């Protein structure tokens, strides 16, 4: 499932990257700039393309705008493979260490933003301490990645300045939003089709994919999804293994959306008392690898299913 959803609530104007297009030449180091409007802050670094990418330019950085939360930004000039993209999955290496993945969404032609998540905080420290970073994105699933190299000179001062003047995201609200869907069945099916298509296959929806359940006794219809009922013709066991198949449980919310309260491998899910479910597990969730099967009752605790005490 996607770690970050399109339409992230905070629409940060990535001014840093727009500012990078003025004044001509390439910037060798990280640069901090405040825009003409109060509260607009940005830090960025740019690189010029070489070889097959001669004439292209890519900028990467962080920014906030008028009180919005700190976020990542990226912009491209002359890169045809990026100009028409609505989203770009990016992997960043600081030295030998990889940062948590970034999913950028377009906010303008060749200009993108990605939310800063709690998982990225250790990566920010590595960006401050490193000498160079490498940014990779894929033009196609079966093609080698496009690779850009940036210096990290000045990154510590720039990022620490931004941390002082830009508010951090509400990570708890951000995490909950990432677990909320209007139609969980359609979202999981779309993700499965995307993963299967990479392997050259198609998805067939089998019996038992969606099961209505009464998770909390509130009257609204909650859902249990058996991801294993989605069969990929190129890899039948794409989400299944000896311990069972990937399953998820979704609690209906007052606004009509669904909150994911469970995502793990299980052999079965059965209704228990309101607020509880009986899971059949095998393997490590039964105490050790290869153990089981075993049954456990899990209860709804602070918006997530957890083993009942």
Q: Which of 18-32, 189-203, 245-259 has the lowest mean pLDDT?
A: 18-32
Residues of each domain in the chain carrying CATH 2.60.40.1880: 15-174
pLDDT in tens, 171-193: 999 889 989 999 999 999 999 99
Residue 104, pLDDT score: 95
Q: Which residue has the tokens 């909650």?
A: 222
Residues 71, 74, 80, CA angle at the centre, nearest 5°? 155
Residue 264, pLDDT score: 95
More confident residue, 17 or 195: 195
pTM given for the model: 0.71
Question: Pairing relation of β-strands 268-271 and 258-266?
Answer: unpaired
Closest CA relative to residue 49, chosen from 139, 135, 128: 135
- The mean of the pLDDT values for the chain is 86
Coil/strand/helix, residue 171? helix
What is the token pair recorded at 292?
A: 């089981």
More confident residue, 22 or 104: 104
Residue 8, pLDDT score: 29
Burial of 67 (0-12, 13-18, 19+ CB in 10 A): exposed
CA 175, 179, 180, 181 dihedral sign is positive
Residue 38, pLDDT score: 64
Residue 36, pLDDT score: 62
Please give the Cα distance from 115 to 72 (Å, whole number).
6
Q: Which of 176-180, 217-221, 268-272 has the lowest mean pLDDT?
A: 217-221
Residue 25, pLDDT score: 42
Stretch 146-162: mean pLDDT: 95
Stretch 25-40: mean pLDDT: 73
CATH superfamily of 15-174: Invasion associated locus B (IalB) protein (2.60.40.1880)
3-state secondary structure 119-163: HHHHHHHHHHHCCEEEEEECCCCCCCCEEEEEECCCHHHHHHHHH
């Amino acid at each position: 499932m996607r770690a970050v959803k399109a339409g992230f609530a905070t629409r940060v104007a990535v001014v840093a990257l727009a500012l990078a297009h003025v004044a001509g030449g390439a910037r060798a180091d990280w640069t901090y700039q405040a825009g003409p409007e109060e509260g607009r802050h940005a830090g960025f670094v740019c690189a010029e393309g070489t070889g097959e990418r001669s004439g292209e330019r890519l900028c990467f950085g962080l920014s906030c705008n008028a009180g919005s939360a700190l976020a990542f930004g990226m912009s491209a000039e002359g890169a045809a493979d990026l100009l028409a993209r609505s989203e770009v999955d990016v992997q960043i290496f600081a030295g030998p260490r990889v940062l948590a993945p970034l999913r950028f969404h377009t906010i303008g032609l060749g200009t993108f933003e990605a939310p800063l998540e709690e998982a990225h905080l250790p990566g920010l420290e590595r960006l401050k301490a490193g000498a160079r970073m490498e940014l990779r994105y894929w033009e196609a699933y079966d093609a080698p990645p496009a690779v850009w190299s940036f210096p990290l000179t000045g990154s510590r001062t720039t990022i620490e300045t931004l941390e002082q003047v830009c508010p951090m995201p509400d990570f708890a609200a951000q995490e909950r939003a990432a677990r909320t869907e209007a139609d969980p069945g359609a979202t999981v099916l779309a993700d499965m089709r995307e993963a299967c298509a990479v392997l050259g296959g198609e998805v067939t929806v089998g019996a038992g994919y969606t099961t209505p359940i009464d998770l909390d006794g509130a009257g609204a219809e909650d859902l249990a999804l058996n991801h294993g009922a989605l069969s990929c013709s190129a890899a039948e066991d794409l989400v299944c293994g000896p311990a069972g198949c990937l399953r998820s449980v979704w609690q209906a919310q007052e606004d009509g959306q669904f909150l994911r309260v469970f995502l793990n491998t299980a052999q079965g899910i059965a209704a228990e008392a309101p607020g509880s479910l009986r899971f059949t597990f095998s393997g490590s969730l039964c105490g050790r690898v290869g153990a089981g099967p075993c049954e456990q009752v899990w209860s709804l605790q602070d918006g997530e299913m957890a083993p009942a005490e």
